[in-house]
């Protein structure tokens, strides 16, 4: 978020909001001034986000990435000393969700 602000994006165009989904997420879904939400997480919560966004008129724009585990392909000419730690890191750190 700091890099985006430093790049000169006008205030309010991009906002990083952190907190419990049951509090912050619900407030964002219900707020009439929020036009779009990007969500990365579980399929259950993603479904809830989509349903809440679709229930409002005008419909909020929603981007969902649900249940990803950073798939990758290791080719036969790969350096396994590099590929194995990268695969483990992608699967088990950041809960396997590094979706940008």
* pLDDT score, position 81: 96
Catalytic residues, by residue number, are 65, 99
When pLDDT is cut at 50, 70 and 90, the band that residue 82 belongs to is very high
Q: Does 6 score more than 90 pLDDT?
A: yes
pLDDT tens digits for range 16-40? 888 888 898 889 888 888 888 888 8
Query: Rounded to whole angstroms, what are the CA distances from 78 to 45, 70, 87?
Result: 37, 18, 12
Query: What is the rounded average pLDDT of the residues 50-74?
Result: 82
**Choice between 70 and 93, residue whose per-residue pLDDT is larger:** 93
Torsion region of 10: left, alpha or beta (phi above 0 gives left; psi -120 to 50 gives alpha)? beta
Q: Is the pTM higher than 0.75?
A: no
């Amino acid at each position: 978020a700091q890099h985006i602000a430093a790049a000169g994006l006008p205030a309010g165009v991009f906002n990083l909001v952190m907190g419990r989904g049951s509090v912050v997420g619900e407030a964002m879904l219900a707020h009439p001034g929020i036009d779009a939400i990007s969500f990365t997480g579980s399929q259950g919560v993603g479904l809830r986000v989509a349903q809440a966004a679709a229930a409002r008129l005008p419909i909020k724009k929603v981007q969902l990435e649900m249940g990803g585990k950073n798939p990758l392909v290791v080719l036969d000419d790969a350096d396994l000393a590099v590929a194995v730690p990268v695969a483990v890191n992608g699967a088990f750190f950041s809960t396997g969700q590094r979706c940008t």
